[in-house]
Amino acid sequence: MSLQLILFILFGTISAISSVLMITRTNALISALFLILNFAGLSGLYLTLNAQFIAVTQVIVYAGAIMVLFLFVIMLLKPEHEKYFSHQPKLKIFAFFIAFIVFIQLVFMIFVSHPSQGNNANVAASVKAGTIEEIGKQLYTNYVLPFEAAGYLLLAATIGAIVLAKKKFE
Amino acid sequence: MLNNFQEFYNIIPILLIGAGFLISLLIEMYFKKSDVILPWFTILIFLAAGFHALYAVNSVSVIFQNMLATGGIVNIFYIIFTFGAAIVALLSIDYIKKYGTYFGEYYILLQTSILGMMLMAGAKDLFMIFLGLELMSVSFYSLAGLNRKRLKANEASLKYFLLGAFATGFIVYGIALIYGTVHSTSIDMIASRFYELSSDKLFIAGILLFLIGFSFKIAAFPFHMWVPDVYEGSPTTIAGLFSTGGKAAAFSAIIVTLGVLFTGRIGNILMPYLAVISVLSMFYGSIVAISQDNIKRMLAYSSISHAGYLLIGLAAGNSFGVAGVIFYLASYTFMNLGAFGIVALIEGKDESNLTLKSFSGLASRYPLLAALFSIIMFSLAGIPPFAGFFGKYYVFIAAIKSNLTWLAILGVLSSVISVYFYLRIVVLMYFKDAETDLKIDVSKTGLAAVIISVLLVIIIGIAPGTIIDLIAFFFK
Amino acid sequence: MNIPIEYYLILSGFMFLVGVAGVLTRRNAIIVFMSIELMLNSANLSLVTFSSYMGNSTGQLFVFFVMTVAAAEAAVGLAIILAMFRNKLTLNIDDINILKW
């Protein structure tokens, strides 16, 4: 067993189990904490894939900023516990069943189309692709227009959030 | 980056709206009279961008390291978005005061949503599709819930937000699978490798997930559940924008990304999917619309059935079909904005006067409004000689050319059903006595906006040939 | 790179469908939104996997933008949820039924 496989199994199990636990908790706060655990597991997976920059951003931006916003809102609103499997239990069983069928199909597709054939794993190229240097260079040369658009997106979202949450009415 | 003056000239529409957005923020902040200046400034920006796009329609180029295309059908989409948005802004001047949300941010978010649509229509890379879509959607979520004191508006924006974000999840996963099989996010690369990858199941799964995500945005049948609620709950002018600009932008993204399927060079492998959701949306929209009592909900179901007719053009999979779809989108934008405009004029304080009853006997008291509304209803029902008829005609002809005669026949059948609920309103307005004592002070700017859209519907209906030839010339 | 790419893709597909199931079954608006975040993250995992196995950084750039979008959506979405809660004092999307769902 190589180190990558051991780490994959470790972080993959954490991510998979925490994702299932997240959608089955009745308390939103505990769900959010499991989602953070899931993000931490994903960050470890990104490291096994040589994506250093994304792994760090995952922790700082996703777990650090976005989820804190979620936790903040949950604490602020103190939502009541929802009764699990209360309304329309048939619908829920149906949803899980469909998800399971689609998952089987997806696994089948992944094995049939052999994505590994087209991707000859080259460790040096893979390490280079994940560095901050490479990503920064791409971001400010080839992808400068998406970068500008992302700036507009954040500005529009800020304005929208302020209008929705703060604007005074007459 | 931009290499020369020509490229700078070509993206002036986008630069205008991008800069106009920032200037609007400053106007809103520093001018005391911003409630007078800002609407007209917004309209000016939209018209300038639209006329520039019209003028520069021939300057085809690809700029920003293969990120954005200009000229040709991209500019035609720009014209649809900007003129539509200018009409929405003109309608809103009095409407949002009546609705109780006079905020400068309304116009600012209107501009960002149009910027997002334009980035989507001009995209040459999945990055731009994704970011344009999100720029548009985030502005739309905020616009829908602008009046946060009103529970209906809250609900509308929450539903729109949750389902829109759900659709985004599908689109991102689809893009991930497309990237993994094509090894690039460039739309040109996707087009050139489409044929060789069409037997790769993972690639097809990616394309299908991408299409499912966009089916939410165009309001096609199994993914339509947000449409009536969101249209009913959001401000009427904004609902008009959702049903026209939002739908046109989502169609532009599909046409841009999967354009190679519709040129006839390779077979249209997505035909079964597109044809099935097209038939379902046409019939579902037309049949459910009959039982609606609220005019906004009726227009929402009619919007679902129009998504079905538009999908016929894509299912046909030839360049004629795509030209038909773009023509249809142009005519649909103006007629639907006219319809929502009249609803916005008639709507009273606190969302009163929205039932079909308030329209009965309208002709005796407001003959001009009744006449304009009848023209729009005839056009929406697809009765010649208005623009709506030619849109449907071109789309059905394209389906027949691709040996999909059954689809065209089902389309005709569904439009026959839809004639019932469109003409019912005309009958109510002209042949029934008034059931409510409707008193409205018709706003001048709103009426002007409706008249402009009706004029555009008539003009498009008079000269459909030149417009369709122009579109077909650019989409080869 | 000594394990097959399929392992990562299957994990990502599994998380995506857990997210979809969460959206369809949960009734608390915040948990629904968190399930959507889970879907976005599973797509991110696929993107990073492909990017790393191809030795091409485009996928990781896309992930960077997905994070930006997630942040923007979180800001607007939580503002909407907050506005809803102030009016209705509930987060349960079954109770939000003035308009038919």
Q: Which chains form contacts with chain C, at 3 or more CB pairs under 8 Å?
A: A, B
Query: Hey, which residues 53-82 in chain C have their CB within 8 Å of chain A?
Result: 53-58, 60-61, 63-65, 67-76, 78-82
How many CB atoms are closer than 10 A to CB B151?
17
Q: Which residues of B touch A (CB under 8 A)?
A: 1, 18, 21, 25, 64-65, 67-68, 100, 103, 105, 108-109, 112, 115-116, 119, 125, 127-128, 131-132, 134-135, 138-139, 141-143, 145-146, 148-149, 157, 180-181, 183, 200-203, 205
Nearest to C91 by CA among C14, C6, C26, C27: C27
Say whether residue C12 is in contact with chain A using an 8 A CB cutoff: no
Give the three-class secondary structure for A87.
Answer: coil
Complex ipTM:
0.94
- Rounded to an integer, what distance in angstroms lies between the CA atom of residue B351 and that of residue B336? 19
- Rounded to an integer, what distance in angstroms lies between the CA atom of residue C14 and that of residue C39? 10
Give pLDDT, residue C101. 42
- Rounded to an integer, what distance in angstroms lies between the CA atom of residue B390 and that of residue B402? 19
Residue contact B67–A115, C-beta within 8 A: no
Give pLDDT, residue C96. 63
Give pLDDT, residue B128. 94
Question: Which of the pair, B122 or C101, is modelled with greater confidence?
Answer: B122
- Residue B246: inside a domain: no
Residues contacting A27, CB < 8 A, separation 6+: A81
Is the distance from CB of C46 to CB of B130 less than 8 angstroms? no
* Beta-bridge partners for B186: B125
- Rounded to an integer, what distance in angstroms lies between the CA atom of residue A109 and that of residue A105? 6
- Rounded to an integer, what distance in angstroms lies between the CA atom of residue A15 and that of residue A38? 5
Burial class of residue A107 (count of CB atoms within 10 Å of its CB; 0-12, 13-18, 19+): middle
- Chain B residue nearest residue C80, CA to CA: B158
User: B194-223 burial, b if ≥16 CB within 10 A, otherwise e?
Assistant: beebeebbbbbbbbebbbbbbbbbbbbbeb
Is the distance from CB of B335 to CB of B458 less than 8 angstroms? no
- Rounded to an integer, what distance in angstroms lies between the CA atom of residue B322 and that of residue A151? 33
Nearest to C99 by CA among B142, B289, B228, B288: B228
Residue contact C43–B172, C-beta within 8 A: yes
Q: Which residues of chain B have pLDDT under 50?
A: none
- Interface size A-B, in CB pairs within 8 Å, comes to 88
- Architecture of the domain whose range is A3-81+88-130: Up-down Bundle (1.20)
Is the distance from CB of B340 to CB of B243 less than 8 angstroms? yes
Residues contacting B215, CB < 8 A, separation 6+: B222, B223, B277
Q: Enumerate the residues of chain B whose CB falls inside 8 A of the CB of residue A149.
A: 119, 128, 131-132, 135
How confident is the model over A102-124, as a mean pLDDT? 77
How many CB atoms are closer than 10 A to CB A155?
17
Give the three-class secondary structure for C28.
Answer: strand
Nearest to B467 by CA among B311, B327, B352, B339: B327
Residue contact B232–C99, C-beta within 8 A: yes
Is the pLDDT at A136 greater than 50? The verdict is yes
Give pLDDT, residue A85. 46
Give pLDDT, residue B1. 56
Residue contact A167–B148, C-beta within 8 A: yes
- Residue B37: inside a domain: no
Q: Enumerate the residues of chain B whose CB falls inside 8 A of the CB of residue C69.
A: 130-131, 134, 168
Residue contact B149–A150, C-beta within 8 A: no
Q: How many domains does chain B have?
A: 1
Sequence spans of domains, chain A: 3-81+88-130
Which region, left, alpha or beta, applies to residue B361 given φ > 0 means left and ψ of -120 to 50 means alpha? Answer: left
Give pLDDT, residue B245. 92
Domains, chain C, in order of start with CATH, read 5-88 (1.10.287.3510)
Give pLDDT, residue B119. 94
Give pLDDT, residue A40. 94
Question: Which of the pair, B437 or C85, is modelled with greater confidence?
Answer: C85
Closest to C62 (Cβ–Cβ): which among B148, B177, B185?
A: B185
At C100, is the pLDDT very low, low, confident or very high (cuts 50, 70, 90)?
very low
- Rounded to an integer, what distance in angstroms lies between the CA atom of residue B452 and that of residue B87? 8
Residue contact C63–A54, C-beta within 8 A: yes
Domain that holds residue B355: 266-476
How confident is the model over C70-92, as a mean pLDDT? 86
Tens-place pLDDT, residues B317-354:
888 889 999 999 999 999 999 999 999 998 877 777 78
Say whether residue B142 is in contact with chain C using an 8 A CB cutoff: yes
Is the distance from CB of B93 to CB of B450 less than 8 angstroms? no
Closest to A23 (Cβ–Cβ): which among C14, C21, C45?
A: C21
B173 Cα to chain C: minimum distance (Å): 5
Q: Which two tokens stand for residue B99?
A: 């609705």
Give pLDDT, residue A81. 60
- Rounded to an integer, what distance in angstroms lies between the CA atom of residue B68 and that of residue B2? 11
- Interface size B-C, in CB pairs within 8 Å, comes to 130
Give pLDDT, residue B123. 93
Is the pLDDT at A9 greater than 70? The verdict is yes
